[in-house]
């Protein structure tokens, strides 16, 4: 997919009739959180606040509050203190505690990314984030392709257009049908493919979801998600949305307690290729728009679901290649 403008999804309004918003999460290294905070402030205004050695925020910008943190829970939540305490070392008594934390941050940042978490941004203003990408690139921020070990991602958090179970199921189905094509078109980096962070849905769950007779209520949809051993480490992570809609049920089933609650799809698949001049946010957003377009087209959604199930039964060899070609034809028809 060539570099282009941000395309509009079928629904630009949420269920309250207001313009939908999207949050972005950029994973990168190569520059400090201090400098990244200053870049954000220089573009969008606001006030920089250092919350800890591992976390900053830029508040009161033209969009709201940006958050910056080292994407390592052990350091961010200072769980290393518990580890030291277990072996009889009291970190609070260290005279040079800040130096210790700086050293830990420096070591971790060689393999663990920093992360910029944007506030929710209106669809009509997403292009303003191009300024941030350009400035990070100017200052030599390192993205997914800068090293074999950089499994860095770009996460999109598009606000759901509709919280009904039918709409949610349609988006799940649409993503599953497009997953092979998206991975090939976006050239997901090998360093990310071999990590567990974006494990694709298991085939038995895909078949279960695409079955035209599958018509769950919300509780069943959530329970089935866990029944098939899904976690936050899916390219389309449904846990934040499930937590928002059914907190008690989801909390009783979830293993990963760091999941937040928000009315968004958590799309984790894209690379964050800041080092690549040809890479852009719009490319990644537009691939997600394809998911929403297919989800909104019930005739095509059912047609391709049936085709997937039929081809999967008959074609075991080179199924992925054949399916990608089929979805590529649909994609080109949609964009024309």
Whether 106 and 33 have beta carbons less than 8 Å apart is answered as: no
322 vs 49, higher pLDDT? 49
Whether 323 and 310 have beta carbons less than 8 Å apart is answered as: no
Work out the number of other CB atoms within 10 angstroms of the CB of residue 189. Answer: 20
Q: Cα–chain-centroid distance for residue 2?
A: 21
Whether pLDDT at 38 is above 60: yes
Q: Cα–chain-centroid distance for residue 321?
A: 25
Whether pLDDT at 235 is above 80: yes
Q: How many CA atoms lie within 13 A of 305 on its CB side?
A: 24
Whether 137 and 258 have beta carbons less than 8 Å apart is answered as: no
- Backbone phi, then psi, for 56, in 5-degree steps? -130, 165
Whether pLDDT at 95 is above 90: no
Work out the number of other CB atoms within 10 angstroms of the CB of residue 27. Answer: 21
Instruction: Return the HEC string of 29-89.
Output: ECCCHHHHHHHHHHHHCCEEEEEECCEEEEECCCCCCEEEEECCHHHHCCCHHHHHHHCCC
State the Cα–Cα distance between residues 334 and 326, nearest whole angstrom.
13
Q: Which among 70-74, 87-91, 240-244 has the top mean pLDDT?
A: 240-244
Greatest Cα pair distance in the chain:
68
267 token code pair: 């799309």
CB crowding 97-106: b at 16 or more within 10 Å, else e? eeeebeebbe
State the Cα–Cα distance between residues 90 and 145, nearest whole angstrom.
40
Q: Which residue has the tokens 């090939």?
A: 184
**Predicted pLDDT of residue 113:** 80
Element (H, E) at 92: none
Mean pLDDT, residues 221-225: 97
**Predicted pLDDT of residue 163:** 95
Mean pLDDT, residues 212-228: 97
pLDDT band at 77 (very low <50, low <70, confident <90, very high): very low
120 vs 331, higher pLDDT? 120
Whether 15 and 244 have beta carbons less than 8 Å apart is answered as: no
Entry pTM: 0.85
By C-alpha distance, which of 327, 276, 329, 308 is closest to 133?
276
Whether pLDDT at 250 is above 70: yes
pLDDT band at 20 (very low <50, low <70, confident <90, very high): very high
pLDDT band at 85 (very low <50, low <70, confident <90, very high): very low
Mean pLDDT, residues 25-35: 92
256 token code pair: 């990963």
């Amino acid at each position: 997919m060539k570099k282009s403008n941000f395309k509009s999804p079928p629904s630009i309004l949420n269920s309250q009739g207001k313009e939908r918003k999207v949050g972005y999460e950029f994973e990168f290294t190569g520059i400090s959180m201090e400098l990244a905070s200053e870049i954000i402030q220089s573009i969008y205004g606001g006030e920089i606040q250092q919350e800890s050695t591992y976390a900053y925020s830029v508040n009161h910008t033209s969009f709201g509050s940006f958050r910056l943190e080292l994407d390592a829970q052990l350091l961010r939540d200072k769980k290393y203190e518990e580890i030291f305490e277990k072996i009889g070392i009291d970190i609070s008594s260290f005279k040079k505690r800040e130096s210790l934390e700086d050293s830990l941050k420096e070591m971790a940042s060689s393999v663990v990314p920093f992360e910029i978490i944007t506030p929710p941004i209106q669809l009509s203003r997403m292009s303003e984030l191009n300024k941030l990408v350009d400035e990070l690139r100017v200052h030599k921020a390192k993205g997914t392709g800068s090293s074999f070990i950089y499994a860095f991602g770009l996460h999109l958090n598009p606000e759901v257009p509709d919280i009904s179970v039918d709409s949610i199921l349609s988006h799940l189905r649409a993503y599953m049908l497009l997953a092979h094509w998206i991975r090939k078109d976006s050239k997901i980096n090998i360093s990310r493919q071999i990590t567990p962070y974006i494990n694709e849905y298991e085939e038995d769950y895909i078949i279960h979801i695409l079955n035209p007779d599958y018509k769950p209520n919300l509780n069943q949809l959530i329970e089935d998600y866990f029944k098939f051993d899904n976690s936050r480490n899916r390219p389309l992570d449904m846990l934040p949305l499930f937590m928002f809609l059914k907190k008690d049920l989801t909390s009783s089933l979830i293993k990963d307690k760091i999941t937040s609650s928000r009315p968004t799809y958590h799309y984790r698949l894209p690379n964050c290729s800041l080092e690549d001049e040809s890479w852009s946010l719009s490319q990644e957003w537009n691939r997600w728009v394809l998911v929403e377009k297919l989800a909104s087209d019930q005739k095509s959604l059912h047609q391709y679901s049936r085709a997937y199930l039929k081809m999967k039964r008959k074609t075991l060899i080179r199924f992925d290649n054949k399916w990608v070609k089929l979805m590529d034809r649909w994609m080109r028809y949609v964009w024309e």
